[in-house]
């Protein structure tokens, strides 16, 4: 039976970067037949002493990613003293960045994991916005960070997606006179909900253009001012009953409206 070689992966975070690098190199020598032992979240010299001792007595290599300079220097020194091979997988590239871009690294452990977590939170928020768009499933209202309500064509969906890209879980519900609003709107915290209103004239223009884009040329109740006034009156009554903040989106870009929503969020610390 072939003896399995061991490599100690040392990191001040989880150590995924070092592990992937070790596996890539190991494939050139042993296939996948290498044992990787982790020393993760290393933050003091005793941790380093432990891995140096383990590596020395098992005749193993240390592969490490330590961004804190004093720990890196201590590991290098102790490894040399004990005759252990320790390979820095991060500093050579960091030094190249410093020389080329004339910048110093911030030396914060776990930055990659933070970036990964932000990415997955953003993806989760986008999936949430798609699932709970346009009142498709009112069960999402209690799970949402923000709930947008308003009549058709008040930018609820694009706002939901924009805020989702900022990692907020957003649900939106259309308000229609003939359809009773979901009871969940009245049971969630009112500061989690944001009402979107718009001037009748602006909405009339938007809806006419929408119908034109869809190929409708004959007059439609959807774009008539009487119908629009009825919808807006009904929507505002619901918003007042809920007691939620209301934003007029008549002449605002998506980004501007989103900033106002987030300002409300930050002012209260939370919509919840």
pLDDT, position 5? 87
Q: Render 76-93 in DSSP notation, one character per residue.
A: HHHHHHHT--EEESSHHH
Residues 159-206 have pLDDT tens digits of: 999 999 999 999 999 999 999 999 999 999 998 999 999 999 999 999
Class of domain 5-109: alpha beta
pLDDT band at 47 (very low <50, low <70, confident <90, very high): very high
Phi, psi at 136, each rounded to 5°: -60, -35
Residues 67-94 have pLDDT tens digits of: 889 999 999 999 999 999 999 998 899 8
Establish whether 152 is an annotated binding residue.
Answer: yes
pLDDT, position 18? 87
Establish whether 210 is an annotated binding residue.
Answer: no
d(CA 242, CA 247): 14
SS3 helix, strand, coil % of the chain, rounded to 5? Answer: 55, 15, 35
Establish whether 157 is an annotated binding residue.
Answer: yes
Query: What does the buried/exposed string (b/e) look like for 149-165 if buried means 16 or more CB atoms within 10 Å of the residue's CB?
Result: bbbbbbbbbebbbbbbe
Residue 1 predicted with pLDDT over 70: no
Q: Which CATH number describes the domain made up of 120-268? A: 3.40.50
Residue 123, H or E segment: helix 111-131
Q: Is the pTM of this model over 0.85?
A: no
Residues 109-166 have pLDDT tens digits of: 766 666 567 778 888 999 999 999 999 999 999 999 999 999 999 999 999 999 999 9
Residues 209-265 have pLDDT tens digits of: 999 988 888 888 999 999 999 999 999 999 999 999 999 999 999 999 999 999 988
pLDDT, position 170? 97
Residues 101-115 have pLDDT tens digits of: 998 887 777 666 665
Tell me which residue of 19, 29, 93 sits closest to 62, measured CA to CA.
19
As annotated, the residues of the chain forming the CATH 3.40.50 domain(s) are 5-109, 120-268
Establish whether 155 is an annotated binding residue.
Answer: yes
Query: What does the buried/exposed string (b/e) look like for 185-207 if buried means 16 or more CB atoms within 10 Å of the residue's CB?
Result: beebeebbbbbbbbebebbbebb
Compute the C-alpha angle 253/128/179, nearest 5°.
Answer: 75
42, 11 contact by CB (below 8 A): yes
């Amino acid at each position: 039976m072939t003896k399995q070689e061991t490599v100690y992966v040392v990191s001040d975070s989880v150590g995924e970067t070092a592990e992937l690098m070790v596996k890539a190199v190991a494939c050139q020598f042993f296939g996948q037949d290498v044992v990787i032992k982790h020393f993760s979240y290393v933050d003091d010299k005793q941790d380093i002493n432990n891995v140096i001792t383990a590596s020395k007595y098992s005749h193993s290599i240390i592969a490490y990613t330590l961004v804190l300079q004093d720990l890196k220097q201590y590991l290098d020194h102790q490894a040399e003293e004990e005759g252990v091979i320790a390979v820095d997988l991060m500093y050579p590239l960091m030094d190249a960045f410093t020389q080329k871009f004339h910048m110093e690294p911030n030396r914060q452990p776990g930055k990659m994991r933070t970036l990964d977590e932000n990415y997955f939170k953003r993806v989760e928020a986008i999936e949430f916005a798609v699932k709970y768009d346009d009142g498709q499933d009112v069960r999402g209202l209690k799970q949402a960070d923000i709930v947008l309500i308003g009549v058709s064509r008040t930018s609820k969906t694009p706002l939901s997606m924009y805020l989702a890209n900022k990692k907020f879980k957003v649900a939106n519900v259309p308000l229609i006179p003939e359809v009773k609003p979901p009871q969940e709107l009245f049971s969630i915290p009112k500061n989690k909900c944001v009402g979107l209103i718009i001037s009748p004239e602006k909405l009339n223009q938007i809806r006419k253009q929408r119908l034109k884009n869809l190929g409708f040329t004959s007059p439609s109740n959807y774009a008539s001012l009487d119908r629009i006034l009825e919808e807006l009156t009904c929507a505002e009554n619901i918003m007042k009953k809920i007691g939620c903040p209301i934003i007029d989106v008549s002449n605002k870009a998506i980004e501007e409206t989103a900033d106002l929503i987030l300002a409300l969020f930050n002012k209260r610390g939370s919509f919840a």
